[in-house]
Structure 1
Amino acid sequence: MSHIIHLESIGDLNRLLQQPRPRHPLLGVVDFTQFDEQFGAGMKISSGFYTVMYKNYCVNTLKYGRQYYDFQEGSLMCIAPKQVVTLDEAVERPANAMGWGLFFHPDLIRGTALGKNIKNYSFFSYDTSEALHLSEKEERTLFDCVQKIEAELAENIDRHSQTLLVSNLELLLNYCTRYYDRQFITRNQANKDILSKIEAVLSSYFQAPDLSEKGLPTVKYLADQVFLSPNYLSDLLKRETGMNAQDRIHYHLIEEAKNLLLSSNQSVGELAFSLGFEYPQYFSRLFKAKTGMTPGEFRNNN
């Protein structure tokens, strides 16, 4: 297995890029067009900080998870700490190249509202194939946010620094959320195709004769069937159906349970095992939470 270079701090990143010491220990901005970023092919990098990276070109092709990724279309990529990115072969940088990276350590936002809500920015766990493709106007808006952060980094650190940096960082991430929502809409037909496939996968799964052996489907299992990350699939389903991926699994499960309760003489325990539950009481609790009735009450009332 190739060695993974772990960059725990912003200072570690600057040393890798052969840049001066960072102006702030927990946040850095890099202009990718100002230095040679051609690293060795196959280099694997992980970090202890969040990464927001925009490019309209690709010098090193990235492999993130199972997907290859390049920036030719002008796109934004967001990476959470501890995830591994693999650099692949290098290509020539175009004349109109534009690219920047914003890197912030979790300690910067710890104890702030952004720190409490950072997990809600689920795009940090999307695959690179689910990157955000920006319009020129969106690109300018995000770049304006980055420039404001750079301007604040140029100031002497005082008691207002963290508040202003985090506020501008939160603004940038909120714009990313807006633009991802826009992208879900503009990919509406593709999303509907994915939704149709998910429905078919779930229907087939719950009809399988070996369901008791396979157990309940997971969100990761569903995501793998349509080549998406679990977070991206959940966000897509939430926008299309009002249910996230786990809710969708439960919906199909409860519908199948209702059919079995009315069409078979199995006890509730036997039925729970046949649906892939290890513990019948968990099935009963879930059924009541979703329908307002216990499985026995549903059977008796129908």
Structure 2
Amino acid sequence: MSEQVIHSKSINDLLSGMGLEKPTHPLITIIDTKRLSYGEDTVGMRFSSDLYCIALKDSSCGIDYGRNHYDFDEGVLMFTAPEQIITVNKPQKLNQVKGWMLYFHPDLIRKTALGEKMDSYNFFNYEVYEALHLSQQEQNTLTQIVELIKSEIKERIDNHSQQVLVSNIELLLNYSVRFYERQFNTRSASNLDIVSKVEVLLKDYYKNNELIDKGPPTIHYLADKCNLSPSYLSDLLAKETGRSAKDHINDFLVEKAKNLLLSSTDSISGIAYTLGFNYPHYFGRLFKQKTGKTPQEYRQLN
């Protein structure tokens, strides 16, 4: 695999690199995937950009997003954020893959309500195997929105263009949130297995004295053990339990702290160190945040 990353700073750079005509709008474009082809000489090449991308594919697209590869069935929606790496893993012929790719530059949504809440759309940080699988009706809904965007780009750029484009992108993302919630619901049984696994991982971490050796477990640690991205794991836990991955970790630490406060005579500092806190006042702050009492107050009242 090539170590070099070919980077596109703009929509124009992106289209030029793909051998496509210049854009009709400088900050947004829609690419018909049937128009894309990759030869043997492209396999292994890595690409990144300063752009957001939302892509709907209906079959294996020959591209790795991030560190993982997936041969997609019909109707899979993928999201990539600026600076993420895309790798071509096999050749692709013209008209081989049906779908669309919507690229837009952060400047399009800067200083808008959407720009301020882009970080809340966690699926831009999901791994490729956590992509959104769509029904035909869901595909049609999103494609209709993309057609509206395409029409706006092609036919008019005026004082209303940015608002219309941003509103449609936001609508597309909000539908994606709804469809991801449906996917979480339909996978509820397997999700509950992951919830149980997280609880076991936390207990084992404590039993094996890893709190003392390594400090409190991180979201990345739990996600890696579950073979998920941190963002996806946190969203899954929030959907199933109403608590994020960070909440699960902190609640576990506080429950262990309660047991130690009542079952031992160790100092508050000693208990803090046992639970992996290098600084006791961080432990005290977390404990009070979760219980409404300081560790000393909790011990005296119980």
TM-score bin (small chain):
over 0.9
SS at match of 2:231: helix
SS in 2 for 1:247: helix
Gap change, CA 1:93 and 1:225, over 3 Å in 2: farther
Match status 1:274 vs 2:274 = yes
1:14-53 to 2 correspondences below 5 Å: 14-38=15-39, 40-53=42-55
Separation in 2, partners of 1:175, 1:223: 26
Letter in 2 for 1:7: S
What residue number does 1:225 align with? 225
Aligned counterpart, 2:76 = 75
After TM superposition, list the pairs within 5 Å mapping 1:66-215 onto structure 2.
66-90=67-91, 97-215=97-215
Query: 1:57–1:93: 8 Å Cα contact kept in structure 2?
Result: no
For 1:106-134, what per-residue CA distance to the aligned partner results, in whole angstroms no more than 9, with x for missing partners?
Answer: 10000001001111111000000000000
Q: Please, which runs of 5 or more residues in structure 2 have no aligned partner?
A: none
Q: How many Å apart are 1:210 and its aligned residue?
A: 4.1
Distance 1:133 1:36 in 2: 24
Q: Note the C-alpha offset of 1:213.
A: 1.8
Unaligned runs of 5+ in 1: none
CA distance in 1, matches of 2:92, 2:152: 34
Give the structure 2 partner of residue 235 of structure 1: 235
What displacement does 1:91 show? 5.4
Query: Does structure 1 retain, via aligned residues, the 8 Å contact 2:36–2:92?
Result: no
Task: Give distance in 2, aligned partners of 1:59 and 1:263.
Answer: 58
Q: What's the secondary structure of 1:13's corresponding residue?
A: helix
* Length-normalised TM-score, structure 1: 0.96
Distance 1:210 1:235 in 2: 25
Q: Which amino acid in 2 is paired with 1:9? A: S
- Aligned amino acid, residue 98 of structure 1: K
Shift of 1:59: 4.0
2:247 is aligned to 247
Query: What is the distance in 2 between the residues matched to 1:50 and 1:228?
Result: 22
Q: Is 1:260 paired with 2:260?
A: yes
Structure-2 change in CA distance of 1:283 and 1:238 (3 Å): same
CA distance in 2, matches of 1:90, 1:36: 7
Task: Report SS of the residue matched to 2:155.
Answer: coil
Can you list the C-alpha shifts for 1:156-185, whole angstroms capped at 9, x where unaligned? Answer: 311101000001111111111110010000
Moved more, 251-260 or 64-73: 64-73
AA partner of residue 260 (structure 1): L
Retained in 1: the 8 A contact 2:211–2:274? yes
**1:63 Cα shift?**
2.2
Q: Secondary structure at the match of 1:54?
A: strand
| Contact persistence 2:36–2:93 (CA under 8 A) | no
- 1:38–1:59 CA contact under 8 A, matched in 2: no
Partner of 1:13: 14
Instruction: Report if aligned partners of 1:206, 1:253 keep a CA contact under 8 Å in 2.
Output: no
In structure 2, distance between residues paired with 1:8 and 1:297: 56
- In the TM superposition, what whole-angstrom CA distance separates every residue of 1:73-112 from its partner, at most 9, and x where no partner exists? 32010001111111102256777x4210000111000000
